[in-house]
Structure 1
Amino acid sequence: MFKKFAIAVPMTLLALSSSVAFAAEESRTSINISATIPSKVFHAQPRDPNFGKDEKMAYVLGAGTLTPIRATYDVQHTNGSVGAYVEGGPQPLSNGINTIALSYMFNGTTLTGVSQEVVGDSESNGGMQADLVIAAAKPTDTQNGLYTANPVVIFDAIPRIP
Protein backbone atom coordinates (compact mmCIF):
# COMPACT_ATOMS: atom_id res chain seq x y z
CA MET A 1 0.00 0.00 0.00
CA PHE A 2 2.83 2.36 0.90
CA LYS A 3 4.54 1.58 -2.45
CA LYS A 4 1.37 2.51 -4.36
CA PHE A 5 1.06 5.73 -2.37
CA ALA A 6 4.75 6.55 -2.82
CA ILE A 7 4.43 6.17 -6.59
CA ALA A 8 1.04 7.89 -6.88
CA VAL A 9 2.11 11.07 -5.04
CA PRO A 10 5.06 11.89 -7.33
CA MET A 11 2.95 11.11 -10.40
CA THR A 12 0.20 13.40 -9.16
CA LEU A 13 2.70 16.19 -8.47
CA LEU A 14 4.22 15.70 -11.93
CA ALA A 15 0.79 15.93 -13.56
CA LEU A 16 -0.13 19.05 -11.58
CA SER A 17 3.16 20.79 -12.30
CA SER A 18 2.80 20.22 -16.05
CA SER A 19 -0.73 21.65 -16.03
CA VAL A 20 0.53 24.70 -14.15
CA ALA A 21 3.18 25.17 -16.84
CA PHE A 22 0.48 25.17 -19.51
CA ALA A 23 -1.61 27.67 -17.59
CA ALA A 24 1.33 30.09 -17.43
CA GLU A 25 1.48 30.42 -21.23
CA GLU A 26 -0.39 33.24 -22.91
CA SER A 27 -0.99 34.72 -26.32
CA ARG A 28 -1.29 38.44 -26.92
CA THR A 29 -2.50 40.55 -29.81
CA SER A 30 -1.63 44.21 -30.05
CA ILE A 31 -4.41 46.20 -31.71
CA ASN A 32 -3.85 49.78 -32.84
CA ILE A 33 -7.14 51.63 -33.13
CA SER A 34 -7.70 55.11 -34.51
CA ALA A 35 -10.71 57.09 -35.58
CA THR A 36 -10.87 60.31 -37.52
CA ILE A 37 -14.00 62.29 -36.78
CA PRO A 38 -14.40 65.14 -39.25
CA SER A 39 -15.48 68.64 -38.35
CA LYS A 40 -19.14 69.37 -39.00
CA VAL A 41 -18.13 72.71 -40.56
CA PHE A 42 -15.38 71.66 -43.03
CA HIS A 43 -13.88 68.38 -44.12
CA ALA A 44 -12.65 66.60 -47.23
CA GLN A 45 -11.55 63.03 -46.61
CA PRO A 46 -11.47 59.81 -48.61
CA ARG A 47 -14.19 57.28 -47.84
CA ASP A 48 -11.58 54.51 -47.81
CA PRO A 49 -9.38 55.11 -44.76
CA ASN A 50 -6.56 53.18 -46.45
CA PHE A 51 -6.50 55.38 -49.54
CA GLY A 52 -3.09 56.89 -50.19
CA LYS A 53 -1.11 54.32 -48.25
CA ASP A 54 -0.03 52.16 -51.18
CA GLU A 55 -1.72 53.04 -54.47
CA LYS A 56 -0.69 51.26 -57.66
CA MET A 57 -1.26 52.10 -61.30
CA ALA A 58 -1.40 48.84 -63.22
CA TYR A 59 0.15 48.58 -66.67
CA VAL A 60 -2.45 47.54 -69.27
CA LEU A 61 -0.68 45.14 -71.60
CA GLY A 62 -1.59 45.72 -75.24
CA ALA A 63 -2.85 49.25 -74.65
CA GLY A 64 0.45 50.35 -73.13
CA THR A 65 -1.30 52.60 -70.60
CA LEU A 66 -1.50 52.85 -66.83
CA THR A 67 -4.80 52.50 -64.98
CA PRO A 68 -5.96 55.66 -63.20
CA ILE A 69 -6.32 55.91 -59.44
CA ARG A 70 -9.78 56.89 -58.23
CA ALA A 71 -10.98 57.68 -54.71
CA THR A 72 -14.33 58.94 -53.49
CA TYR A 73 -14.20 61.74 -50.94
CA ASP A 74 -16.79 62.99 -48.47
CA VAL A 75 -16.75 66.79 -48.68
CA GLN A 76 -18.57 69.40 -46.62
CA HIS A 77 -18.21 73.10 -45.87
CA THR A 78 -21.16 74.80 -44.22
CA ASN A 79 -19.65 78.30 -44.44
CA GLY A 80 -18.63 78.49 -48.11
CA SER A 81 -17.08 76.46 -50.91
CA VAL A 82 -14.12 74.06 -51.09
CA GLY A 83 -10.85 74.60 -52.93
CA ALA A 84 -8.06 72.16 -53.73
CA TYR A 85 -4.56 72.07 -55.20
CA VAL A 86 -1.52 69.81 -55.53
CA GLU A 87 1.23 71.02 -53.22
CA GLY A 88 4.19 72.09 -55.37
CA GLY A 89 2.16 71.59 -58.55
CA PRO A 90 1.20 68.32 -60.23
CA GLN A 91 3.84 65.71 -59.43
CA PRO A 92 4.84 63.26 -62.21
CA LEU A 93 5.77 59.63 -61.85
CA SER A 94 9.56 59.36 -61.84
CA ASN A 95 12.21 56.66 -61.89
CA GLY A 96 14.96 59.15 -61.10
CA ILE A 97 15.85 59.65 -64.77
CA ASN A 98 12.58 59.77 -66.72
CA THR A 99 9.15 61.11 -65.80
CA ILE A 100 5.58 60.32 -66.81
CA ALA A 101 3.11 63.19 -66.44
CA LEU A 102 0.18 62.79 -64.07
CA SER A 103 -3.08 64.74 -64.22
CA TYR A 104 -5.10 65.33 -61.07
CA MET A 105 -8.85 65.98 -61.18
CA PHE A 106 -11.23 66.52 -58.30
CA ASN A 107 -14.96 66.69 -58.95
CA GLY A 108 -14.20 67.24 -62.65
CA THR A 109 -11.80 70.18 -62.04
CA THR A 110 -8.14 69.82 -63.03
CA LEU A 111 -5.91 70.53 -60.04
CA THR A 112 -2.81 72.70 -60.35
CA GLY A 113 -0.37 74.15 -57.84
CA VAL A 114 -2.81 77.00 -57.06
CA SER A 115 -5.97 76.56 -54.99
CA GLN A 116 -9.18 76.78 -56.98
CA GLU A 117 -12.81 76.03 -56.22
CA VAL A 118 -13.67 72.35 -56.72
CA VAL A 119 -17.01 72.22 -54.86
CA GLY A 120 -19.41 75.16 -54.84
CA ASP A 121 -21.01 76.76 -51.82
CA SER A 122 -24.50 75.30 -52.27
CA GLU A 123 -23.21 71.77 -53.06
CA SER A 124 -20.88 71.62 -50.07
CA ASN A 125 -23.36 72.92 -47.45
CA GLY A 126 -25.13 69.62 -46.85
CA GLY A 127 -22.13 67.44 -47.64
CA MET A 128 -21.51 65.50 -50.82
CA GLN A 129 -19.29 62.89 -52.44
CA ALA A 130 -16.78 63.71 -55.15
CA ASP A 131 -14.05 61.73 -56.90
CA LEU A 132 -10.33 62.38 -57.02
CA VAL A 133 -8.89 60.87 -60.22
CA ILE A 134 -5.18 60.68 -60.93
CA ALA A 135 -4.31 59.59 -64.47
CA ALA A 136 -0.96 59.03 -66.15
CA ALA A 137 0.11 59.98 -69.65
CA LYS A 138 0.88 57.00 -71.86
CA PRO A 139 4.44 55.77 -71.20
CA THR A 140 6.79 55.62 -74.18
CA ASP A 141 8.22 52.32 -75.37
CA THR A 142 11.51 53.05 -73.59
CA GLN A 143 9.94 53.90 -70.23
CA ASN A 144 10.02 50.81 -68.07
CA GLY A 145 10.90 49.89 -64.50
CA LEU A 146 9.63 51.30 -61.23
CA TYR A 147 8.14 54.80 -61.33
CA THR A 148 6.89 56.50 -58.17
CA ALA A 149 5.28 59.74 -57.05
CA ASN A 150 4.36 61.14 -53.67
CA PRO A 151 1.91 63.99 -54.31
CA VAL A 152 0.05 65.88 -51.60
CA VAL A 153 -3.45 67.14 -52.43
CA ILE A 154 -4.60 69.94 -50.12
CA PHE A 155 -8.22 70.94 -49.61
CA ASP A 156 -9.05 74.34 -48.20
CA ALA A 157 -12.18 76.02 -46.95
CA ILE A 158 -13.08 79.06 -49.04
CA PRO A 159 -15.19 81.36 -46.85
CA ARG A 160 -18.51 82.64 -48.05
CA ILE A 161 -18.34 86.29 -49.09
CA PRO A 162 -21.18 88.21 -47.41
Structure 2
Amino acid sequence: MATIETGIKALTDAGIFAYLIPFLLAIAIVYGILEHVSVPKDKSVRSLIAILAGFLVLPLGKTLSPFLEGLSLGLMVIVATVLALLVMAESTGLTQAKKEHVWVSHPKLTGVVFIMIALIIFVSAGGPKLIGLENVRLGGGLGLAFFLVIMALGVWWIAGEKKGG
Protein backbone atom coordinates (compact mmCIF):
# COMPACT_ATOMS: atom_id res chain seq x y z
CA MET A 1 0.00 0.00 0.00
CA ALA A 2 1.43 3.36 -1.03
CA THR A 3 1.72 6.09 1.55
CA ILE A 4 1.56 9.83 1.05
CA GLU A 5 5.30 10.01 1.65
CA THR A 6 5.91 7.53 -1.16
CA GLY A 7 3.70 9.53 -3.51
CA ILE A 8 5.45 12.80 -2.70
CA LYS A 9 8.84 11.11 -3.12
CA ALA A 10 7.75 9.85 -6.54
CA LEU A 11 6.63 13.36 -7.54
CA THR A 12 9.92 14.81 -6.31
CA ASP A 13 11.91 12.20 -8.24
CA ALA A 14 9.89 13.01 -11.36
CA GLY A 15 10.90 16.68 -11.06
CA ILE A 16 7.42 18.04 -10.46
CA PHE A 17 8.53 20.43 -7.72
CA ALA A 18 11.85 21.39 -9.30
CA TYR A 19 10.65 22.01 -12.86
CA LEU A 20 6.89 21.84 -13.37
CA ILE A 21 5.82 24.07 -10.46
CA PRO A 22 8.22 26.96 -11.35
CA PHE A 23 7.24 26.56 -15.02
CA LEU A 24 3.52 26.85 -14.26
CA LEU A 25 4.10 29.63 -11.72
CA ALA A 26 6.04 31.68 -14.28
CA ILE A 27 3.27 31.22 -16.84
CA ALA A 28 0.60 32.27 -14.33
CA ILE A 29 2.51 35.34 -13.13
CA VAL A 30 3.49 36.59 -16.59
CA TYR A 31 0.04 35.98 -18.04
CA GLY A 32 -1.63 37.64 -15.04
CA ILE A 33 0.53 40.74 -15.38
CA LEU A 34 0.00 40.94 -19.14
CA GLU A 35 -3.74 40.43 -18.69
CA HIS A 36 -3.90 43.15 -16.04
CA VAL A 37 -2.15 45.77 -18.16
CA SER A 38 -3.81 44.52 -21.39
CA VAL A 39 -0.54 44.38 -23.31
CA PRO A 40 -0.59 43.11 -26.05
CA LYS A 41 -4.22 43.41 -27.03
CA ASP A 42 -4.49 39.89 -28.47
CA LYS A 43 -5.02 37.21 -25.79
CA SER A 44 -3.32 34.51 -27.83
CA VAL A 45 -0.14 36.61 -28.02
CA ARG A 46 -0.29 37.09 -24.23
CA SER A 47 -0.56 33.32 -23.83
CA LEU A 48 2.39 32.74 -26.14
CA ILE A 49 4.55 35.25 -24.24
CA ALA A 50 3.59 33.62 -20.93
CA ILE A 51 4.43 30.13 -22.20
CA LEU A 52 7.79 31.33 -23.55
CA ALA A 53 8.54 32.94 -20.17
CA GLY A 54 7.72 29.60 -18.55
CA PHE A 55 10.21 27.84 -20.82
CA LEU A 56 12.86 30.43 -19.87
CA VAL A 57 12.44 29.36 -16.23
CA LEU A 58 12.95 25.63 -16.91
CA PRO A 59 16.79 25.69 -16.84
CA LEU A 60 16.64 27.40 -13.44
CA GLY A 61 14.53 24.65 -11.87
CA LYS A 62 17.11 23.32 -9.40
CA THR A 63 17.96 26.89 -8.33
CA LEU A 64 14.38 28.09 -7.96
CA SER A 65 13.06 25.04 -6.14
CA PRO A 66 14.69 25.75 -2.73
CA PHE A 67 13.78 29.43 -3.03
CA LEU A 68 10.12 28.65 -3.73
CA GLU A 69 10.09 26.19 -0.83
CA GLY A 70 11.38 28.84 1.57
CA LEU A 71 9.02 31.40 0.11
CA SER A 72 5.99 29.19 0.66
CA LEU A 73 7.06 28.48 4.25
CA GLY A 74 7.45 32.21 4.91
CA LEU A 75 4.06 32.94 3.44
CA MET A 76 2.51 30.26 5.65
CA VAL A 77 3.98 31.97 8.74
CA ILE A 78 2.52 35.29 7.61
CA VAL A 79 -0.90 33.75 6.97
CA ALA A 80 -0.85 32.09 10.40
CA THR A 81 0.06 35.42 11.99
CA VAL A 82 -2.72 37.30 10.22
CA LEU A 83 -5.28 34.63 11.11
CA ALA A 84 -4.21 34.67 14.76
CA LEU A 85 -4.52 38.47 14.85
CA LEU A 86 -7.97 38.26 13.27
CA VAL A 87 -9.09 35.71 15.85
CA MET A 88 -7.81 37.92 18.68
CA ALA A 89 -9.46 41.03 17.23
CA GLU A 90 -12.79 39.28 16.71
CA SER A 91 -12.79 37.63 20.13
CA THR A 92 -12.29 40.97 21.88
CA GLY A 93 -14.90 42.76 19.78
CA LEU A 94 -12.32 45.23 18.54
CA THR A 95 -13.70 47.63 15.91
CA GLN A 96 -12.50 50.84 14.33
CA ALA A 97 -14.37 54.09 14.78
CA LYS A 98 -14.69 54.84 11.06
CA LYS A 99 -15.59 51.25 10.05
CA GLU A 100 -12.89 51.18 7.35
CA HIS A 101 -9.96 48.86 6.93
CA VAL A 102 -6.70 49.73 8.64
CA TRP A 103 -4.83 49.74 5.34
CA VAL A 104 -7.28 52.31 3.97
CA SER A 105 -6.99 54.63 6.96
CA HIS A 106 -3.17 54.26 7.20
CA PRO A 107 -1.92 53.53 3.65
CA LYS A 108 1.72 54.61 4.11
CA LEU A 109 2.23 52.61 7.29
CA THR A 110 0.58 49.58 5.73
CA GLY A 111 2.80 49.89 2.66
CA VAL A 112 5.94 50.03 4.80
CA VAL A 113 4.82 46.98 6.78
CA PHE A 114 4.07 45.00 3.60
CA ILE A 115 7.45 45.94 2.09
CA MET A 116 9.22 44.85 5.29
CA ILE A 117 7.32 41.56 5.30
CA ALA A 118 8.17 40.96 1.64
CA LEU A 119 11.87 41.69 2.23
CA ILE A 120 12.02 39.38 5.25
CA ILE A 121 10.37 36.56 3.33
CA PHE A 122 12.61 37.16 0.29
CA VAL A 123 15.82 37.09 2.32
CA SER A 124 14.70 34.15 4.47
CA ALA A 125 13.75 32.12 1.41
CA GLY A 126 17.23 32.53 -0.09
CA GLY A 127 16.43 35.33 -2.51
CA PRO A 128 19.83 37.03 -2.26
CA LYS A 129 21.43 33.78 -3.44
CA LEU A 130 19.32 33.97 -6.61
CA ILE A 131 20.69 37.41 -7.46
CA GLY A 132 24.31 36.59 -6.60
CA LEU A 133 24.58 37.86 -3.02
CA GLU A 134 25.90 34.75 -1.28
CA ASN A 135 26.94 36.47 1.98
CA VAL A 136 23.50 37.71 3.06
CA ARG A 137 22.27 35.17 5.61
CA LEU A 138 19.69 35.28 8.33
CA GLY A 139 19.04 32.75 11.06
CA GLY A 140 16.50 30.01 10.56
CA GLY A 141 14.41 31.36 13.43
CA LEU A 142 13.62 34.64 11.67
CA GLY A 143 10.10 33.54 10.76
CA LEU A 144 9.40 32.47 14.32
CA ALA A 145 10.83 35.71 15.70
CA PHE A 146 8.72 37.74 13.28
CA PHE A 147 5.62 35.74 14.25
CA LEU A 148 6.27 36.29 17.96
CA VAL A 149 6.86 40.04 17.48
CA ILE A 150 3.61 40.40 15.53
CA MET A 151 1.72 38.41 18.17
CA ALA A 152 3.20 40.56 20.96
CA LEU A 153 2.26 43.75 19.11
CA GLY A 154 -1.25 42.42 18.60
CA VAL A 155 -1.67 41.61 22.29
CA TRP A 156 -0.24 45.01 23.26
CA TRP A 157 -2.59 46.76 20.82
CA ILE A 158 -5.67 44.87 22.01
CA ALA A 159 -4.77 45.38 25.69
CA GLY A 160 -4.29 49.10 25.03
CA GLU A 161 -7.71 49.31 23.36
CA LYS A 162 -9.41 47.67 26.34
CA LYS A 163 -7.88 50.11 28.84
CA GLY A 164 -8.61 53.17 26.74
CA GLY A 165 -12.18 52.10 25.87
Tell me, yes or no, whether TM beats 0.5: no
TM-score (norm 1): 0.23
- In terms of Rg, which structure is larger? 1
Specify which structure has the higher proportion of helix. 2
More strand by share: 1
